[in-house]
Amino acid sequence: MQRYRADVSEQDLLSAFDNAPVGMAVLTPSGVVTACNAAMGRLLDRAPDELVGGTFFDVTHADDLEGARRECALMQVEGARIVRHECRFVLPGDRIIWVSVSTSRVPETLDRPAHLIMHIEDVSDRKRIEAELSHRALHDPLTGLANRTLLAERLRESLGRRGRHTRLGHLFYLDLNGFKTVNDRFGHAVGDAVLTQLAARIVALLRVGDIAARLGGDEFAVFCEDTEPHQALAIARRLRMAAADPFVVDGSTITISAAVGCCATEHTDAAALIREADRRMYEGKRRRPLRGHLRRRPW
């Protein structure tokens, strides 16, 4: 059973509203702001009076507006008592924050019309941490490229979209020749620098929508959607050239090479596609063994 203190005055309630540590607002059933507290003004970097008469849709990021309207429509269409969603607000100066919005519907009474009460809290720090954790889970920490998990996810998405008239994509698997010698002679720090430089070269070759991944050690992969076979041959050649171009690290010129395997995304799943590209890479390496070499720049 709910209990209410009879000795709480209307002034006490107004003080609680005005001094609440989170943003609070009272709105009409259609979403027009009729009152908001000081915390809401600080959150949105506006005077509270400036917000009265408008709606929070006015400050919602354009990419989140449809979802915010859909959530709030539940109040009207389904009569939901409480609706929660997260979205981005755009502040003065085009600054963006993530907020958690909780809206409760208060039904009409004899002495008060129906209205909405909204609580808004800044969750930008949590969103940033979540984004960082998600990025770490799906990207290689050294090069910043996608990892095997993200590559497989992208392959599954692509295979799921394929239709009768969709052109095939191609997956390229790269394995470096002579890289162990780099680590043995110059140390792992120099080896890491070579991998990082190579990753940047690979990214520079990609089109919008392509993805490059580091699969571990000195193995990389590139997936290009909507690619003709002759284009795939050209991409494989450019990838080999990217690896063959000398790397300069700490005064040393390091030359290696790469074996590249390629297969089309036809009638297979993501894991099988990666295995097939890997197999073709090693098959090509056996047919035409390549060795990297090192030389120190004379100074």
Q: Catalogue the long-range contacts made by 95-100 (C-beta closer than 8 Å, 24 or more residues apart).
A: 95/45, 96/61, 97/43, 97/122, 97/124, 98/122, 98/123, 98/124, 98/126, 98/127, 99/43, 99/123
State the virtual CA torsion across 271, 274, 280, 286 in degrees, nearest 10: -100
Q: What angle do CA 181, 187, 190 make, to 5 degrees?
A: 95
Question: Could you confirm whether 140 is annotated as catalytic?
Answer: no
Bridge partners (DSSP) listed for residue 258: 176
Residue given tokens 């290009």 in the structure block: 224
Q: Which of 140, 175, 210, 218 is catalytic?
A: 218
Half-sphere exposure of 274 (CA within 13 A, CB side): 19
CB atoms within 10 A of CB 246: 12
Active site residues: 218
